[in-house]
């Protein structure tokens, strides 16, 4: 669970404890987010959950609730955990607001520094009246008013899967680098195109499959299989579209930080590991990816990694791998090769 999700869950808990705030009742849809003490306020209700993130999905399952990625039902209350991606928020608010029952209640919660002011303006455009409350460094927007159905449909259309301009790679708002191919991935891809790959490999944090496709398209490859591990189910679904025709590509919806699972160790690993959560730089997140790569590689196996120049990964790589070398530095990124 990210820091942002924890803040939002805490804010909801404080909000529902206020005497003047009625608890949601009836049929309730939770869009993204994670369970927490706030669930006590809707205990006994009929709860459905939309979840795209593997670790959050596991938390819901532990609570006895099986999340889904789609639903066509109508709801008395919809609780939306907003993200830092403005377009994703618009798309989800537009899509799911149309699934409110007449006089249904819409709630959005967002950490202040992830765009709360902008979200307030957007929600106020859609709904005629919105109550705002600040709790736990977050803002909560609460309304049962009428909404602009035409605008909702327009916003919902923003969530369609579509190709990145100038490429054939299909993405959707909310996943990593959805508007353009990441500069670091492009730098690493230029290196991967010149390499030869064989046997079994893994792409940790594969997103929509850009690096995996680069490797699979190398002319001298003898790849038996490549396993794409990705936290976000939407990104993994896009990867399957982008790698259509590559029967040796396998897909795992998984949280790499919780450990990956495969029947054998890998000959090589490629990755552009994440390094931030909720706009906070987190060196440990990337370091966890590096440790996991070392664990799943065969002796003598290869790691190809791209990271921002300032990230202090070299000392850990020296500890976890037999040898390493710098492959390239450019545009604020570095590519590193390491031998297990």
Residue 332, sorted as left (phi over 0), alpha (psi -120 to 50) or beta, turns out to be left
Q: Which residue has the tokens 């007449």?
A: 102
Instruction: Encode pLDDT of 26-78 as tens digits.
Output: 999 999 999 999 999 998 899 999 999 999 999 999 999 999 999 999 999 99
Q: Which CATH superfamily is domain 3-159 in?
A: Vaccinia Virus protein VP39 (3.40.50.150)
Instruction: Encode pLDDT of 177-204 as tens digits.
Output: 999 999 999 999 999 999 999 999 999 9
The angle, 0 to 180 degrees and rounded to 10, between the axes of the packed helices 149-156 and 86-97 is 130
Q: 123 or 19: whose pLDDT is higher?
A: 123
Amino acid 274: pLDDT: 87
Residue 276 has pLDDT above 70, yes or no: no
Architecture of domain 162-339 in CATH?
3-Layer(aba) Sandwich (3.40)
Residue 186, sorted as left (phi over 0), alpha (psi -120 to 50) or beta, turns out to be alpha
pLDDT category at 280 given cuts 50, 70, 90 is very low
Residue 278 has pLDDT above 50, yes or no: no
Task: List phi, psi (to 5°) of 281.
Answer: -65, 130
Sign of the Cα pseudo-torsion (154, 155, 161, 164, in order): positive
Say yes or no: do domains 3-159 and 162-339 share a fold: yes
Among candidates 12, 149, 134, 137, which has minimal Cα distance to 77? 12
Average pLDDT of span 12-28? 94
Task: List phi, psi (to 5°) of 183.
Answer: -60, -40
* 16, two tokens: 């529902």
Average pLDDT of span 217-246? 96
Task: Say if CB 1 and CB 278 are below 8 A apart.
Answer: no
Please state, rounded to an integer, the average pLDDT across all residues of the chain: 95
In the chain, where do the E strands start and end? Answer: 27-31, 46-50, 75-81, 100-111, 131-135, 138-143, 162-163, 170-171, 198-204, 222-230, 249-253, 266-271, 276-277, 280-281, 297-308, 323-330, 333-339
pLDDT category at 282 given cuts 50, 70, 90 is low
Average pLDDT of span 309-318? 95
Alpha carbon distance 56, 228 (integer Å)? 19
Cα-based torsion angle of the residue sequence 196, 199, 205, 210 in order, rounded to the nearest 10 degrees: 40
Amino acid 234: pLDDT: 97
pTM for the structure as a whole: 0.95
Report percent pLDDT > 70 for the chain.
98
Among candidates 116, 137, 119, 135, which has minimal Cα distance to 127? 119
Among candidates 202, 211, 314, which has minimal Cα distance to 251? 202
Domain ranges of the chain: 3-159, 162-339
Amino acid 152: pLDDT: 98
Instruction: Encode pLDDT of 144-173 as tens digits.
Output: 999 999 999 999 999 999 999 999 999 999
Average pLDDT of span 17-27? 94
Among candidates 39, 118, 36, which has minimal Cα distance to 82? 118
Q: 281 or 236: whose pLDDT is higher?
A: 236
């Amino acid at each position: 669970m990210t820091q942002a999700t924890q803040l939002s869950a805490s804010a909801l808990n404080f909000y529902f404890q206020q005497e003047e705030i009625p608890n949601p009742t009836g049929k309730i849809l939770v869009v993204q987010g994670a369970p927490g003490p706030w669930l006590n306020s809707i205990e006994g209700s009929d709860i459905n959950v939309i979840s795209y993130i593997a670790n959050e999905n596991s938390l819901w399952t532990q609570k006895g609730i099986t999340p889904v990625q789609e639903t066509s039902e109508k709801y008395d209350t919809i609780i939306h955990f907003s993200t830092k991606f403005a377009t994703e928020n618009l798309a989800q608010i537009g899509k799911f607001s149309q699934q409110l029952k007449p006089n249904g209640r819409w709630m959005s919660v967002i950490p202040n520094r992830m765009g709360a002011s902008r979200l307030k303006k957007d929600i106020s455009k859609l709904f005629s009246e919105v109550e705002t409350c600040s709790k736990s460094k977050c803002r909560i927007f609460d309304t049962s008013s009428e909404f602009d159905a035409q605008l909702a449909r327009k916003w919902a259309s923003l969530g369609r899967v579509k190709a990145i301009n100038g490429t054939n790679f299909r993405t959707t708002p909310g996943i990593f680098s959805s508007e353009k191919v990441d500069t670091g991935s492009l730098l690493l891809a230029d290196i991967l195109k010149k390499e030869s790959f064989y046997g079994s490999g893994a792409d940790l944090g594969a997103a929509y499959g850009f690096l995996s496709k680069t490797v699979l398209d190398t002319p001298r490859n003898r790849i038996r299989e490549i396993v794409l591990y990705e936290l976000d189910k939407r990104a993994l679904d896009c990867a399957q579209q982008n790698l259509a025709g590559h029967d040796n590509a396998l897909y795992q919806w998984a949280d790499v930080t919780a450990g990956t699972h495969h029947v054998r160790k890998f000959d090589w690993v490629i990755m552009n590991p994440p390094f931030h959560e909720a706009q906070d730089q987190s060196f440990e997140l990337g370091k966890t990816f590096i440790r996991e790569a070392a664990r799943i590689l065969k002796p003598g196996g290869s790691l190809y990694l791209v990271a921002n120049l300032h990230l202090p990964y070299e000392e850990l790589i020296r500890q976890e791998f037999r040898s390493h070398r710098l492959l390239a530095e450019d545009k604020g990124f570095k590519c590193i090769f390491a031998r297990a």
